Amino acid sequence: MLISNDSGPVHIAAAVGIPVVDIFGRNQPGLNRERWHALGPDHIVLFKEVAHQSPMPAHGEYESPSLEALTVDEVYRAAVSLLERA
């Protein structure tokens, strides 16, 4: 299993059949989970919708209210859910 922010390793893991917890911090046209999530049946995409989220750059440092709103417990439960499916 791979737990990661949305990045290249997520897509490599998904391509070779490794279950993924894919964590997204942005939701803007062209840079959102609907377009860039891991493909396949054994993946969970996590994203927290928050009010007043401003656009973020594609690369570099930025603040993400969505990531800050996501709890460790939510990521843990997603990982346990994938393990239970296996």
Q: Are 26 and 58 in contact (CB under 8 A)?
A: no
Residues 79 and 23: their CA atoms lie apart, in Å, by 12
pTM of the model: 0.73
Give the tens place of pLDDT for each residue, 66-79.
778 889 999 999 99
Query: Given CA atoms 57, 58, 60, 62 in this order, what sign does their dihedral have?
Result: positive
| More confident call, 12 vs 67 | 12
65-74 core/surface letters (b: 16 or more CB in 10 A; e: else): bbbeebeeee
The CA distance from 5 to 46, in Å, is 9
Q: Which domain holds residue 56?
A: 2-85
Domain count of the chain? 1
